[in-house]
Amino acid sequence: MELFIKIHSNYEETLNLTVKDENTMSEIHKTLDARGLSCPMPVLKSKKALKEINVGQVLEILSTDPGSMADIPAWTRTTGQELLTSEERGPKDFRYLVKRMK
């Protein structure tokens, strides 16, 4: 059992290490799946998720809300966080990378 836990935690560690963004090459520490949620939930959940990572770490946000294209940047600007990426991957498929600055 102990061995299993050891292997399992090693496995998770490896998984965490391998999650990297292709373009910015930044390591993603947490992913928030806000798909299906509408305003204002993506911003509210992002704020919550950002509190769960450390300063300097990166949060990935997935959303289907077209309003998030304006709202996530407005939120990061106002709160002084860094928006690394903001991409529209499809008609209702948005992805953001936010680096926690404080």
Shortest distance, CB of residue 66 to another protein, whole angstroms?
A: 12
Residue 75 binds another protein, judged by CB under 8 A: yes
Residue 66 has a CB neighbour count (10 Å cut-off) of 14
Q: Where are the beta strands (DSSP E) in the chain?
A: 30-34, 58-63, 82-90, 93-99
Q: Which of 7, 39, 44, 101 is catalytic?
A: 39
* Six token digits for residue 57: 């770490």
Residue 53 binds another protein, judged by CB under 8 A: no
Q: What are phi and psi of 71, to 5 degrees?
A: -75, -40
Closest CB to another protein among residues 20, 47: 47
Has 39 been annotated as catalytic? yes
Contacting positions for another protein (CB under 8 A) = 36-41, 43-44, 46-47, 75, 78-80
Q: Which residues are catalytic, by number?
A: 39
